[in-house]
Amino acid sequence: MQCPCNPENLYESCCQKAHNNINTVNTPEELMRSRYSAFVLANMDYLQKSHHSTTRPNKREKRKIEAWTKTVNWLKLEVLKTTMGKISDTAGTVEFKAFYMENGKMAVIHENSNFTRENGHWVYVNGKHKA
């Protein structure tokens, strides 16, 4: 299977590694890509694990997100910019666009996401949506 985050890669050699072991993720961009793939695959366990403990969705929000992600057709991910987030850093940002079809219309999530390290691995903290 092609990887949802980058169709030029196979899932097993790309995001599946992160989905099986979050500690293999070295940068916020890798985490962003693996989270996008998790949305495409409705892998809610990984989405929860890769979310900072202070901003993680509760059970009701998790069910709502899971139901929504199963109703859209994910098209592609574009990573626009990253700041910091090197292996030695403790924080970083990723600006991205995630394109999807919903109710017959194309839509896009354009966000600048904040990442940090928690429990020894990268996690998503929050994001600011862009117009």
**Upper half-sphere CA count for residue 102 (Cβ side, 13 Å):** 12
What is the percentage of the chain residues whose pLDDT exceeds 70? 99
- For 3, the token pair is 């990887």
- For 75, the token pair is 């098209």
Query: Contact 5/36 with Cβ under 8 angstroms?
Result: yes
Give residue 51's Cα distance to chain centre: 9
Residue-wise pLDDT for 34-54, tens only, equals 999 999 999 999 999 999 999
On average, the pLDDT of the chain sits at: 95
The Cα–Cα gap between 60 and 62 comes to: 5
CA 121 vs CA 5, 23, 87: distances in Å? 20, 6, 10
* pLDDT (average), residues 60-81: 95
* pLDDT (average), residues 59-82: 95
3-state secondary structure of 74: strand
Short-list 4, 21, 18, CA closest to 78: 4
pLDDT, position 88:
85
The Cα–Cα gap between 56 and 50 comes to: 9
- For 104, the token pair is 């017959």
* pLDDT (average), residues 70-79: 96
Q: How confident is the model at residue 86 (pLDDT cuts 50, 70, 90)?
A: confident
The Cα–Cα gap between 73 and 102 comes to: 7
What is the percentage of the chain residues whose pLDDT exceeds 90? 94
Q: How confident is the model at residue 127 (pLDDT cuts 50, 70, 90)?
A: very high
| pTM of the predicted model as reported, rounded to 2 decimal places | 0.94
- For 24, the token pair is 């293999």
pLDDT higher than 80, residue 131: no
* pLDDT (average), residues 110-126: 96
